[in-house]
Amino acid sequence: MPKFDAFYAGTDEATQHLFRFFTFGFNRSVGVRGPQKLALQWLKCFMTTKGSDPTNLEYGTEFSNLIGSNVRAMQDVQDVVALCIQDCNEQILQIQQKTQPDLDELLLTATLVKFNLTGADGFDAYVTISNAKSQEVTVNLPSLATRT
CA distance 103 to 35: 9
Domains of the chain: residue spans and CATH: 31-147 (3.10.450)
pLDDT at 25 over 70: no
Q: Which residues pair with 124 in a beta bridge?
A: 116
User: Quick one: three-class SS letters along 113-129?
Assistant: EEEEEECCCEEEEEEEE
pLDDT one-digit tens code per residue, 57-115:
999 999 988 877 777 778 888 999 999 999 999 999 999 999 999 999 999 999 999 99
Q: What is the pLDDT of residue 108?
A: 97
